């Protein structure tokens, strides 16, 4: 997600569009990104640390974005 | 001097940058993103464009191109590096320059002849200008809003790391009208406007951009 102090023009555009469609009461919109990583084997602390590193190095730019890593069980497709 | 111009997949202005380098009196050397070889160049230009389609974030994937390891190492050792537009974004993603560039605050692509003030003429890319000189060169970007936290902005303002500032209008929402910055050492410069499009009378809005390409020579003979 863009850090709170960083302007989010895309979020602002969405926020502007909502009332035009009749949706009211939204005071702010922030737009971020979600990456779904399929991990081989069990998600151990080591694997998690590695994913944190991926988030820090490539997936996000820590200068302007915050990130959180969530682990979800794989779903049968 | 031999000036390398890196071509990434999606670079647009690499050939213009090479041309500007030659008009500026230096030898242009084409460098390839997939090649970690800098071919013995004395300085490097990262040109404008939409490298890797701006996927993920502008410059985020180019930063990890094989050539960038060599560029980062050379930049840290003091080699002059100029990033224009997408090149500026790549330098910020590489953390060679402070801050980051985000979508224009008005959310539209902007293309105009932009007046700038040269705020720092002590870099190898701006030595040909007078301190405070006003120049008009082309600006064209969709994600040119320079941002940094308040502490970083105060630091770069205090250390004279702002290289160029927008005059008349702020075209993209950049904090403190910042159009270009340099690193602490002063050898790496990032600039959102395009001096390589303002080097000949025939095209563009004049030749005020030429100084960015003649500065290297001025510095060498200074």
Confidence of residue B204 (pLDDT cuts 50, 70, 90): confident
Mean pLDDT of A7-11: 93
Residue A32, CA distances (Å) to A2, A9, A36, B142, B162 in order: 6, 11, 14, 18, 29
Chain B residues with CB under 8 Å of A54 CB are: none
Backbone torsions φ then ψ of B51, nearest 5 degrees:
-60, 135
- Which residues have CB under 8 Å from B127's CB, separation 6+? B121, B215, B218, B219, B222
| ipTM (interface predicted TM) | 0.85
Interchain proximity B173–A58, CB inside 8 Å? no
pLDDT of the residue at B56: 95
Cα atoms in the 13 Å half-sphere on the side-chain side of B27: 7
Q: Which residues pair with B84 in a beta bridge?
A: B191
C-alpha triplet B174, B180, B181: angle, nearest 5°: 110
Q: Nearest Cα to B98, choosing from B117, B83, B114?
A: B83
- Whether the pLDDT of residue B222 is over 60: the answer is no
Cα separation, B3 vs B213, in Å, equals: 10
Percentage of chain B exceeding pLDDT 70: 98
Q: For all residues of chain B together, what is the average pLDDT?
A: 96
Convert the pLDDT of each residue in A31-77 to its tens digit: 999 999 999 999 999 999 999 999 999 999 999 999 999 999 876 65
A50 φ/ψ sector (left φ>0, alpha ψ -120 to 50, else beta): alpha
The pLDDT score that the predictor gives to residue A76 is 61
Residue B219 pLDDT > 90: no
- Which pLDDT score is estimated for B218? 74
Q: What pLDDT is recorded for position B220?
A: 63
B118-175 pLDDT, tens per residue?
999 999 999 999 999 999 999 999 999 999 999 999 999 999 999 999 999 999 999 9
Q: Does residue B110 sit at the A interface (CB-CB below 8 Å)?
A: no
The pLDDT assigned to B217 comes to: 80
Question: What pLDDT is attached to residue A75?
Answer: 65
Distance from CA of B81 to the nearest CA of A (A): 21
Distance CA A54, CA B208 (A): 42
Please pick, among B85, B92, B93, B119, the residue that the annotation labels catalytic: B85
Q: What is the pLDDT of residues B36-66, one digit of tens each?
A: 999 999 999 999 999 999 999 999 999 999 9
Q: How far is CA B112 from CA A76, B8, B137, B138, B202, in A?
A: 52, 25, 8, 6, 17
Higher pLDDT, B220 or B140: B140
Contact B100 A64 (CB under 8 A): yes
Are the C-beta atoms of residues B5 and B45 closer than 8 Å to each other? yes
Strand ranges across the sheet with B43-46: B27-32, B2-7, B43-46, B81-84, B188-191, B178-182, B162-166, B110-118, B134-141
Residue B13: DSSP 8-state = S
B63's tokens: 């930063």
């Amino acid at each position: 997600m863009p850090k709170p102090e960083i302007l989010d023009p895309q979020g602002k555009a969405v926020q502007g569009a909502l009332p035009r469609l009749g949706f009211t009461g939204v005071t702010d919109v922030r737009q971020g990104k979600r990456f779904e990583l399929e991990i081989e084997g069990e998600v151990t602390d080591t694997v998690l640390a590695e994913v944190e590193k991926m988030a820090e190095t490539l997936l996000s730019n820590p200068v302007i974005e915050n990130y959180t890593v969530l682990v979800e069980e794989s779903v049968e497709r | 001097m031999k000036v390398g111009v890196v071509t990434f997949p999606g670079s647009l202005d690499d050939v213009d940058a090479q041309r500007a380098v030659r008009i500026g009196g230096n030898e242009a050397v084409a460098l390839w993103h997939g090649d970690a070889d800098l071919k013995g160049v004395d300085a490097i230009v990262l040109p404008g464009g939409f490298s890797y389609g701006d996927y993920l974030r502008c410059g985020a994937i180019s930063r990890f191109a094989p050539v960038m390891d060599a560029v980062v190492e050379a930049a840290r050792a003091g080699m002059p590096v100029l990033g224009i537009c997408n090149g500026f974004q790549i330098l910020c993603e590489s953390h060679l320059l402070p801050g980051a560039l985000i979508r224009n605050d008005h959310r539209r692509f902007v293309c105009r002849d932009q007046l700038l003030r040269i705020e720092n003429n002590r870099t190898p890319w701006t030595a040909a200008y007078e301190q405070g000189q006003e120049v008009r060169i082309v600006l064209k970007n969709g994600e040119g809003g320079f941002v940094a936290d308040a502490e970083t902005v105060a630091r770069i303002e205090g250390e004279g790391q702002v290289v160029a500032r927008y005059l008349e209008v702020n075209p993209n929402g950049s904090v403190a009208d910042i159009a270009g910055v340099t690193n602490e050492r002063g050898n790496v410069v990032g600039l959102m406007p395009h001096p390589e499009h303002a080097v000949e009378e025939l095209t563009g809005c004049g030749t005020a951009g030429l100084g960015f390409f003649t500065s290297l020579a001025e510095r060498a003979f200074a």
